[in-house]
Amino acid sequence: MSDNDKQAEMNEAEALDDEGQETEANESAEGTEDLHLLLEDARNKADEHWNELLRNRAEMENLRKRNARDVENAHKFGMEKFIQEILPVWDSLGRGLEAAQNDDVDVQSIREGMELTLKMMNASMEKFNLEEIDPQGDVFNPEIHQAMTMQETADFAPNTVMAVFQKGYLLNDRLIRPAMVVVAKASNAAKSNEYEKTDESGTKIDDQA
């Protein structure tokens, strides 16, 4: 092989080596660029998630403040509708008191005014499902009645409400205040009559016999 051929082979080998190095450099540069792109994409997604987290936190904080404000307003103004219903009754009572202080007061007019005020009050209470318990003559019910005393009587059956000291009230079927009552019990005379109608064996004697 001549020197020229050797030189040609050497030049060709060098060219191939240079080409390989250039290819490796290009591939390395492309890999680095891809890595930068991936890092940039990951950074953008992280920023996006962080901003979303901040927005969610802000929304939750606003919701918490709004709920707290609603609860506060409910405590402050929850009775607003009830007060609006009661105010006319209050006004009526005030006018009745003024009328009663006049020297030429008309008792009949005062009574009619009080009856009208009571009707207004009852109508207002009905709007809020407040139910009156007035058990006069009813069988005693310990769930909604409170017995203040028991009294012997022949005018009422035993365990019957014979008098009402104070009316009770239910709000949406829930007991707010029991009716305070006097409960009837059998008198000694009634017990004696009942005993006389019973024979020695304890059998009740029929009056119709």
- What's the pLDDT score for residue 208? 43
Give the tokens for residue 120. 């207004």
Q: Write the pLDDT tens digit of every residue in 55-102.
A: 999 999 999 999 999 888 888 887 888 889 899 999 999 988 888 888
Question: What secondary structure letter does DSSP report for 103?
Answer: T
Give the tokens for residue 128. 């809020």
- What's the pLDDT score for residue 169? 96
Quick check: 121 and 89 in contact, CB under 8 A?
yes
User: What is the phi/psi pair of residue 100, to 5°?
Assistant: -70, -20
Alpha-carbon 178 to chain mean position = 23
Please indicate whether residue 25 or residue 140 has the higher confidence score (pLDDT): 140
Strand ranges inside 107-173, DSSP E: 130-133, 145-153, 161-166, 168-171
pLDDT band at 140 (very low <50, low <70, confident <90, very high): very high
- Local structure of 83: helix, strand or coil: helix
Quick check: 183 and 159 in contact, CB under 8 A?
yes
- What's the pLDDT score for residue 3? 60
Residues 7, 144: Cα–Cα separation, whole Å: 122
Torsion of CA 61, 64, 68, 71, to 10 degrees: 160
Q: Can you tell me the mean pLDDT for 179-193?
A: 79
Count the neighbouring beta carbons within 10 Å of the beta carbon of residue 165: 11
Q: Write the pLDDT tens digit of every residue in 146-180.
A: 999 999 998 999 999 999 999 999 999 999 999 99
Instruction: Report the amino acid identity of residue 51.
Output: N
Report the range out of 98-102, 105-109, 119-123 with the highest average pLDDT.
119-123
Residues 33, 80: Cα–Cα separation, whole Å: 69
* HSE-up (13 A, CA, CB side) for residue 61: 6
- What's the pLDDT score for residue 207? 45
- What's the pLDDT score for residue 35? 79
Q: Write the pLDDT tens digit of every residue in 14-45.
A: 655 655 555 665 556 666 777 788 888 888 88
Cα–Cα distances in angstroms (integers) from residue 104 to residues 15, 19, 96, 110, 195, in the given order = 132, 127, 14, 12, 62
- What's the pLDDT score for residue 110? 86
